[in-house]
């Protein structure tokens, strides 16, 4: 079989990803926004460099030189990393299907990506931010702060998804700026999120103010939600508050849940993360339990075993003796 040129392999991969035939490592379909971003990166940087070459002809040393040049140009480490993502995905699939023997994107030396510190607001700061807003904007940001929905999930939220009687928001859909309503980001994105009292009161009041002709969606339009910062920032600056984003409000929701004692597995479900590793990676620094506290808990466990006259192994749960 003749070797497939990189630009043809890229076209085939993008077509398959759009159709849902090519999936990510978790087995989920790629978000359409991700496919568009991959296409843009391929067109801007990867295909001009490697498009006329067969995948089997691309050498790791050449890719490493390509990465080094991007770093030398001053490109941010995270951007260098994401620039290679579409080529990684194409090569990974080609290897899995036996179309090429080696994945040249493996083993590359990449610049270190330092995770930015998440912007966390204290409960009283969130209240101040909400108090500076009026009407529907206040309800929108309250839903972000107290339910942790993604921006696209806020944009597509319908009243049929909000069960005020049982106190649950059913997240069924997201929003793409080009495609409109889309399925959630992953299987875990379809979830139920509890509605705390302050948010329930805001939603009830908001529901009562709507006219009969505007009762399908919780918020007036997706574009209105997507422009939330432009409306809120002047209100916050006017009273001396630092502006935040809807995504930062979502991280703040996670910090509130952790401070309230919600376990990490439940938080993963409420946040709609694909797996618990994502939740721990983002928020492990907020979890309670210093070295001194952990040591104290262990000492108390050992002391209890000695007081009961049992050995260390017999005090362990079944299955942990070996």
pLDDT at 2 over 50: no
CA 271, 274, 275, 281 torsion-angle sign: negative
The per-residue pLDDT for 277 is 87
* CATH code of domain 123-285: 1.10.443.10
Backbone angles phi, psi at 162, to 5 degrees: -105, 110
| DSSP output for 166-234 | TTEEEE--EEETTTEEE--SSGGGSEEEE--HHHHHHHHHHHHHS-TTS-SBSSS-HHHHHTHHHHHHH
Check: pTM over 0.85? Answer yes or no.
no
**Residue 53, Cβ density class (10 Å: 0-12 exposed, 13-18 middle, ≥19 buried):** middle
Which one, of 77, 90, 76, 84, lies nearest residue 30 by Cα? 90
Query: 28-37, 66-75, 198-207 — which is least confidently predicted?
Result: 28-37
DSSP-derived secondary structure for 17-35: HHHT-SB-TTSPBPPHHHH
Per-domain residue ranges for the chain? 6-96, 123-285
In angstroms, the Cα distances linking 292 to 7, 49, 187, 234, 296 are: 56, 54, 39, 44, 6
The number of angstroms, rounded, from the C-alpha of 210 to the middle of its chain's C-alpha atoms is 31
User: Average pLDDT for residues 173-193, to the nearest whole number?
Assistant: 81
3-class DSSP state for residue 119? coil
* Whether the predicted pLDDT of 172 surpasses 60: yes
Helices (H), the chain: 6-19, 32-41, 47-50, 60-72, 77-83, 85-96, 123-131, 135-147, 151-155, 197-209, 222-226, 228-238, 246-259, 264-271, 276-283, 291-307, 312-315
Farthest-apart Cα atoms in the chain, separation = 75
Which of the residue ranges 19-23, 216-220, 311-315 would you say has the lowest mean pLDDT? Answer: 311-315
Token pair of 201, please?
């009161």
Report the SS3 class of residue 219: coil
Candidate from 4-18, 170-184, 306-320 with smallest mean pLDDT: 306-320
Q: What is the CATH number of domain 6-96?
A: 1.10.150.130
**Which pLDDT band holds residue 183 (cuts at 50, 70, 90)?**
confident
**Alpha-carbon distances of 257 from 71, 102, 104, rounded to whole Å:** 39, 45, 43
Mean pLDDT of the chain: 87
Long-range Cβ pairs for the range 121-125 (8 Å, 24+): 121/145, 121/244, 121/248, 121/249, 121/252, 121/255, 123/256, 123/259, 125/241
């Amino acid at each position: 079989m003749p070797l497939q040129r990189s630009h043809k392999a890229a076209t085939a991969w993008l077509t398959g990803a759009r159709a849902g035939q090519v999936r990510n490592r978790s087995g989920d379909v790629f978000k359409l926004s991700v496919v568009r971003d991959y296409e843009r990166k391929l067109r801007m940087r990867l295909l001009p460099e490697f498009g006329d070459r067969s995948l089997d002809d691309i050498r790791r040393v050449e890719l490493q030189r390509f990465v080094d040049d991007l770093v030398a140009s001053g490109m941010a480490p995270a951007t260098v990393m994401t620039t290679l993502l579409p080529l990684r995905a194409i090569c990974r699939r080609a290897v899995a299907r036996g179309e090429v023997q080696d994945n040249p994107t493996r083993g590359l030396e990449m610049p270190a990506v330092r995770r930015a510190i998440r912007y966390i607001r204290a409960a009283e700061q969130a209240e101040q931010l909400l108090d500076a807003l009026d009407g529907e904007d206040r309800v929108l940001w309250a839903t972000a702060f107290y339910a942790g929905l993604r921006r696209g999930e806020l944009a597509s939220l319908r009243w049929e998804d909000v069960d005020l009687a049982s106190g649950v928001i059913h997240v069924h859909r997201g929003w793409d700026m080009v495609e409109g309503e889309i399925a959630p980001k992953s299987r875990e994105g379809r979830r139920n999120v509890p509605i705390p009292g302050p948010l329930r009161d805001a939603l009830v009041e908001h529901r009562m103010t709507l006219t009969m002709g505007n009762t399908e969606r919780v918020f007036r339009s997706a574009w209105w939600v997507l422009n939330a910062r432009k409306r809120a920032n002047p209100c916050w600056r006017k009273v001396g508050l630092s502006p935040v984003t809807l995504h930062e409000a979502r991280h703040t929701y996670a910090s509130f849940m952790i401070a309230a004692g919600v376990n990490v597995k439940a938080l993963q479900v409420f946040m709609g993360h694909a797996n618990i590793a994502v939740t721990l990676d983002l928020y492990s620094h907020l979890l309670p339990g210093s070295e001194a506290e952990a040591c104290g808990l262990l000492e108390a466990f050992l002391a209890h075993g000695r007081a009961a006259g049992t050995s260390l192994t017999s005090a362990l749960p079944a299955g942990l003796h070996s």
